[in-house]
């Protein structure tokens, strides 16, 4: 595909021409998303070693990619939001003046594509005909990025046609550069709807439709247009009566979003007729419908999931999804060229993620943040509602993180303002999805700390604005699957058993489930959940369903200090809610 004529594409053609003049590629290729194009790109990557063919009998159409060992995760410390006013980016983002950001990036991009092909990728985030969807164009010199964007977005000719109709799009410029960690930056210019990323080939830094567009830029778009762009899964929960409720849930990366999105009900629930369908596992765009309910789409078309820990026990649907037509990144290999990672039920690695002979004493077979990229349509629990241009109505919003102590299994917010505070105060242990120390507790509001494209104080205000008397807002809950006992063991079995908690939530939505009021919210007693077949120790019962006043007094003091970090922009309603609960906890 070459540059196309048409007045509404003039700005796109001009931008591509400017980028080509700056980066000086040997050739420019406009991606059409066709099978023939993908086959040609895949063959080229196999020839140059970018992709390694996996066992065609066990994993047909699947490939292994090994990234540079210094390029294996998001680099939050090198990720910037460039706004005219520093306060608009907020203390939750690294900031740079737009002029300085462009100058720094353009100096890096100067001549960087000599000897390479420049790929122009038109894409649509969300169903191609949905009014909730938004389009973008990524320019990259990485065939690996093209192959992944084809899976993760609606990429190619249909997206270009929508861009021609609408005349606007998010601009994304990416180059792997030299893969030098000292020459690696990801810059966002929300006021210009533009992204520039240099020096990384890793998913979140290089697949610009994902976190960069669908969260950082989209959150800015959402604020100005009256919707929400969130780091949330979307699942459908159908009860034996045939009623389906849709739940959106926010967890930090590698905290079980994909597992929950693809949950398989416990055996007794399956026999009774309960079903879970998967609309999305990572990103959720929501806006009020004509009836005032929040309707959500998954802007992505695929899954970019964490491989380690994915097994028949933890997530059989995910494992079934990735048996064919999948790109694996930084996993190990067995002797017969099957992908392998820690947590798999069978197989034995002989080669690690760096391509070296596997030695458990040296490093794990798969990098802790190794990934799989696969079409959502391959998931056994895939929901046909994923392509519904209207989206799905959300009954409940769930927040959660890794909290080994204090936080019970589940509790419910009293109202929307309390729910926003619960999301704003979310804390979780860090994981391998980002560079830095693992296992450190940090505040991660709405699981958006690495992804909110503007000041968190303004973001909380935007959430509060949805409670306007016209909207029928979902109930808000908080869960903690990761509570540990005195011996360090998990107290809740998790995985499919989490459906028991979701059932209670829907009971609260319908007004049929019981709860006990506490200062932190409404908690179920053990008898409010269906625990048939679940064996819980006395310690587990106490801690999963208990309320520890002294610990929560300290927690709310910490939350108050955290909110003050955002200064005068922090909405008084949220501070007032924190103060009200803190006072209740002292009574």
112 noted as active-site residue:
no
The answer to whether 281 is a known ligand-binding residue is: no
The answer to whether 259 is a known ligand-binding residue is: yes
Question: Which residue in 255, 284, 379, 452 is the catalytic one?
Answer: 255
The answer to whether 370 is a known ligand-binding residue is: yes
The answer to whether 198 is a known ligand-binding residue is: no
The answer to whether 495 is a known ligand-binding residue is: yes
The answer to whether 369 is a known ligand-binding residue is: yes
- Which residues contact residue 551 at a Cβ distance below 8 angstroms, ignoring those fewer than 6 apart? 405, 406
Give which of 176, 181, 182 is closest to 207, Cα–Cα. Answer: 176
Q: Is 404 exposed, middle or buried (0-12, 13-18, 19+ CB in 10 A)?
A: middle
The answer to whether 204 is a known ligand-binding residue is: yes
The answer to whether 203 is a known ligand-binding residue is: yes
Q: E-assigned strands of 282-352?
A: 284-288, 294-297, 302-306, 327-329, 332-334, 339-340, 349-351
Residue in the block written with tokens 């960069």: 212
The answer to whether 136 is a known ligand-binding residue is: no
The answer to whether 183 is a known ligand-binding residue is: no
The answer to whether 564 is a known ligand-binding residue is: no
215: helix, strand or coil: helix
Cα 355 from Cα 183, distance rounded (Å): 25
Cα 160 from Cα 1, distance rounded (Å): 11
The answer to whether 88 is a known ligand-binding residue is: no
The answer to whether 71 is a known ligand-binding residue is: no
The answer to whether 255 is a known ligand-binding residue is: yes
Long-range contacts of the stretch 517-522 (C-beta < 8 A, 24+): 518/411, 518/547, 519/549, 519/552, 519/581, 519/584, 519/585, 520/411, 520/547, 520/552, 520/581, 520/585, 521/411, 521/412, 521/413, 521/414, 521/418, 521/422, 521/478, 522/411, 522/412, 522/413, 522/414
Cα 276 from Cα 288, distance rounded (Å): 24
Alpha-carbon torsion angle 581, 584, 585, 587, nearest 10: 170
The answer to whether 134 is a known ligand-binding residue is: no
Do β-strands 27-30 and 117-125 pair in parallel, antiparallel, or remain unpaired? parallel
The answer to whether 254 is a known ligand-binding residue is: yes
The answer to whether 436 is a known ligand-binding residue is: no
SS (H, E, C) 27-89: EEEECCCCHHHHHHHHHHHHHHCCCEECCCCCCCCCEEECCCCCCCCECHHHEEECCCCHHHH
Give which of 15, 252, 225, 260 is closest to 122, Cα–Cα. Answer: 15
The answer to whether 258 is a known ligand-binding residue is: yes
The answer to whether 402 is a known ligand-binding residue is: yes
Binding-site residue set for substrate: 74, 202-204, 253, 369-371
Binding-site residue set for Mn(2+): 211, 231, 282
Active site residues: 255
Binding-site residue set: 74, 202-204, 211, 231, 253-259, 282, 369-371, 402, 495-498
Binding-site residue set for GTP: 254-259, 371, 402, 495-498
């Amino acid at each position: 595909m070459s540059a196309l004529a048409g007045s509404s594409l003039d700005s796109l053609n001009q931008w591509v021409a400017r980028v080509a003049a700056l980066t000086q590629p040997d050739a420019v290729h406009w991606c059409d998303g066709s099978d023939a194009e993908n086959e040609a790109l895949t063959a080229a990557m196999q020839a140059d070693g970018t992709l390694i063919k996996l066992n065609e009998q066990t994993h047909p159409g699947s490939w292994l990619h090994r990234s540079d060992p210094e390029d294996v995760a998001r680099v939050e410390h090198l990720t910037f939001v460039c706004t005219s006013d520093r306060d608009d980016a907020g203390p939750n983002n690294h900031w740079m003046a737009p002029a300085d950001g462009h100058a720094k990036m353009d100096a890096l991009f100067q001549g960087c594509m000599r000897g390479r092909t420049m790929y122009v990728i038109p894409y649509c985030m969300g169903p191609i005909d949905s009014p909730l969807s938004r389009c973008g164009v990524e320019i990259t010199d990485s065939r690996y990025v093209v192959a992944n964007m084809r899976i993760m977005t609606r990429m190619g000719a249909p997206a270009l046609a929508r861009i021609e109709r609408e005349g606007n799009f998010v601009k994304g410029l990416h180059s792997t550069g030299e893969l030098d960690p000292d020459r690696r930056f990801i810059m966002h210019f929300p006021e210009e709807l533009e992204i520039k990323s240099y020096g990384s080939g890793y998913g979140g830094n290089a697949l610009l439709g994902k976190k960069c567009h669908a969260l950082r830029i989209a959150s800015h778009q959402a604020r100005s247009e009256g919707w929400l762009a969130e780091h949330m899964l979307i699942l459908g929960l159908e009860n034996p009566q045939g009623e389906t409720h849709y739940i959106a849930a926010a967890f930090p990366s590698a905290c079980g979003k994909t597992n929950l999105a693809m949950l398989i009900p416990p055996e007794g629930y399956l026999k009774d007729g309960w079903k879970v369908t998967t609309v999305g596992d990572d990103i959720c765009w929501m806006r009020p419908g004509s009836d005032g309910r929040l309707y959500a789409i998954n802007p992505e078309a695929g899954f970019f999931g964490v491989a380690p820990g994915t097994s028949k026990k933890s997530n059989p649907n995910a494992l079934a999804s990735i048996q064919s037509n999948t790109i694996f990144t930084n996993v190990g290999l067995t002797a017969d060229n099957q992908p392998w990672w820690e947590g798999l039920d069978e197989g034995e690695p002989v080669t690690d993620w760096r391509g070296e002979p596997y030695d458990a004493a040296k490093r794990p077979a798969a990098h802790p943040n190794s990934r799989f990229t696969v079409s959502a349509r391959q998931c056994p629990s895939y929901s046909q509602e994923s392509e519904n241009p209207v989206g799905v109505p959300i009954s409940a919003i769930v927040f959660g993180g890794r909290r080994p102590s204090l936080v019970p299994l589940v509790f419910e917010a009293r109202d929307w303002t309390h729910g926003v505070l619960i999301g704003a105060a979310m804390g979780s242990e860090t994981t391998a999805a980002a560079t830095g120390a693992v296992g450190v507790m940090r505040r991660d509001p709405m699981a958006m700390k690495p992804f909110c494209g503007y000041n968190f104080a303004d973001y909380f205000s935007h959430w509060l604005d949805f409670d306007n008397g016209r909207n029928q807002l979902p109930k808000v809950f908080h869960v903690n699957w990761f509570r540990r006992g005195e011996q360090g063991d998990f107290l809740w079995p998790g995985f499919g058993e989490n459906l028991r908690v979701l059932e209670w939530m829907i009971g609260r939505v319908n007004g049929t489930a019981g709860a006990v009021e506490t200062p932190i919210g409404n908690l179920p007693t053990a008898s409010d959940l269906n625990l048939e077949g679940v064996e819980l120790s006395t310690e587990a019962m106490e801690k999963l369903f208990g309320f520890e006043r002294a610990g929560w007094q300290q927690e709310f003091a910490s939350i108050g200090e955290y909110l003050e970090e955002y200064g005068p922009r922090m909405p008084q309603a949220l501070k007032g809610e924190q103060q009200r609960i803190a006072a209740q906890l002292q009574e």
